[in-house]
Amino acid sequence: MACALARGALFLLVLMILLGGSGAPWAGMTDPDHKHNLSAASSGSVKATTEQEICVFCHFPHNANPAEPLWNHTLSGATYTPYSSGTLFAAAPGQPSGRSKLCLSCHDGTIAVGSVRHMPRGGGAGTIAGLENPLTGQFALGTDLSDDHPVSIGYDVGNSELAPVATLEANGLMLDENGQIQCGSCHDPHDNTNPKFLRKPFSEGGQGAVLCRTCHDKQYWSTIANQPHRDSLNQWNGAGNNPWHVPGHDKANDPASTPLANSCENCHRPHSGGNAHLVKGFGEGYGVSEICLACHNLNVASKKDIAASLDKMYGHPVKSTAAGAFHMPERMGDGKVREQAANLGNNRHAQCTDCHNPHAVSAGVSPDIDDVGGTNNLASNVLKGVWGVEPVWPGNWGQVISFTEVDDIQYQYQLCLKCHSYYAFGTNPPTDPWGLMRGDGRLTDQSIEFNPNNESYHPVVAPGKNDFIMSTTNGTFDYSGSLLGNLTPGSTLTCADCHSDDAYTGAAGTVPKGPHGSNVWPILRAPWNFDTSGSGSSQEDLCFKCHSPTTYGPDSVNDGTARTGFSIDGTYNLHWVHSVVTFNSKPCVACHAAVPHGWKRRALLVFGRTAPDPSPYFGFGENRGLDSRIAIGGPEKSGNWKCCNCHYYFINFMGYTTPNC
């Protein structure tokens, strides 16, 4: 044994001289706990039966494989599936080369650990006793490297989210002589100072992953305050999927296992991640959102149970397992990462990362309708760093065909319109997935509807055109008091003010704001149907979150104070007449667009009877609504309307007589 140890020490000395190494890391190879010490003296479970030499499992001083450095282990002949991504700056990697191929001679799990070109003490090729089997388990990467960090790939020097090469070298990381990333860029197989032979410690005591962040300088990650994916102390309670499922990071109710401590490995795994971009997966088959929903439920104290919203009757199809229902970003000619508009039409999907940038998100949603100061249409903190589109608006009710891509949205509608407009589907809108849309069953183009050049629209893109001032022969009346929740005629809204979970009660609760899912079609926060404001309506209906039900709804009154623009001389509330007094009380959609985003006429008014407007905008049946022959587009405001402005049919063909006409 003494002779064998002496030969091993001499071999170590020769290798240090040949490879220019210092003595300190190499001395660690003799440590029985060193995982790459495969000698019989090792304390590990993978070791030789009797062989005492240490280096021979990988190196041999004479007649070694031409591969550096003096390689002795049998190389694998496997063909690998390399990592690929549409967001790479560098050319996609091919088959592993250089020293990564040496590591894979053991770590692809196809070659016996003890298979060498030269047996110790002058023997030929063979297998060292005790090591006749390949590696298995987490240390065997297999031949599918598509979910492993790319190797044998050029460092993306054109990527602004990667640190300069000089920074890598100054921080102890290395590229090979061809400027490529190899296994050895992150791992030093001889130095086990850090776990898994990492060249840098994974954790730095919070906001961790010092190794990952030496190369990856992700935009927003370090600059945004209160970044929950970086700073949170939330813990897993042990129920459901383990969100971290990495040895050492996976204990329930453990204050040392939090987003702050786990950092990059909250979401990513450098080996066997399971999804694109090395994002961890759970085998549930719905893409990168698997890891998001592992935390965003009540099994982790994230405060918002988004998983429950998505499981409601109507929701964005985040949990779809359809092959095309995944996030498919590409790096465009300008270097930005987006999905091509042409691709969106054939890849209707909704992954969490389509709406949220996990490196930029911070706490805070858009203000609610009843918040002090009212609402606005700005993108909230949870949408920071997301790309969207700004339409080039045409005239009234015109088709939008030109869009400007926005890298970091300013307004929430810019996010929604990248899917719900011509930008995504051109002239071929998708069908309503729940089959409830009237007309041809297709979704409408919301860039047409919210166009601020339209005659009317809900104020999502710009403040509305109704000033809530009514001038009549009896004077001027301000009916802005019919707006609720601190809204004013100059207010703007976000899509999420109407499209949210029906159980949402405010930012302090566990139910999230936003169009994740709802039990009310189509992802509405309160009931709305073709009877709203009619005989079966309720003050809980969606319209009455903003518009006073005592002015417009089934409980409206005519006391001379509940006035609207639809009045006679400011004293006779004609909404009250139509909602309460007349036979078969009329719902909103009898006169107003059934898709109330926006419309070509003022006040969202649609024609029925003769030459009705198309469905789904006119949704009440041809025997209801405004006759197309009336002067609805005339110069007079509605406060000065007379019955003959609306009831053309009854007056001219049925012989009805009405006052003031």
Given a cut of 70, is residue 16 above it in pLDDT? no
Torsion of CA 448, 339, 274, 81, to 10 degrees: 150
| Neighbour-count burial of 447, counting CB atoms closer than 10 A to its CB (0-12 exposed, 13-18 middle, 19+ buried) | buried
Reported as a pLDDT band with limits 50, 70 and 90, residue 6 is very low
- Per residue in 277-317, pLDDT tens? 888 888 888 888 998 998 999 888 777 899 999 999 999 99
- Length, in residues, of the chain: 661
Q: Where are the beta strands (DSSP E) in 431-515?
A: 456-457, 469-472, 475-478
Q: Which residues pair with 573 in a beta bridge?
A: 567
CB-based contacts of 232, cutoff 8 Å, min separation 6:
258, 259, 260, 302
- What percentage of the chain has pLDDT greater than the value 70? 88
What predicted TM-score, i.e. pTM, was given to this entire model?
Answer: 0.90
- Per residue in 578-621, pLDDT tens? 888 876 688 888 889 999 999 998 899 888 877 889 999 998 76
Q: Which residue has the higher pLDDT, 581 or 458?
A: 458
Reported as a pLDDT band with limits 50, 70 and 90, residue 12 is very low
CB under 8 A, 24+ apart: contacts of 241-246: 241/282, 241/294, 241/299, 242/294, 243/291, 243/294, 243/295, 243/299, 243/300, 245/280, 245/282
Burial of 298-330, coded b for 16+ CB within 10 Å and e otherwise, reads ebbebebbbbbbbebebbbbbbbeeeebbbbbe
Residue whose entry in the numeric block shows the structure tokens 């007309």: 439
Q: Which residue has the higher pLDDT, 369 or 68?
A: 369
Given a cut of 50, is residue 7 above it in pLDDT? no
Q: Which residue has the higher pLDDT, 248 or 290?
A: 290
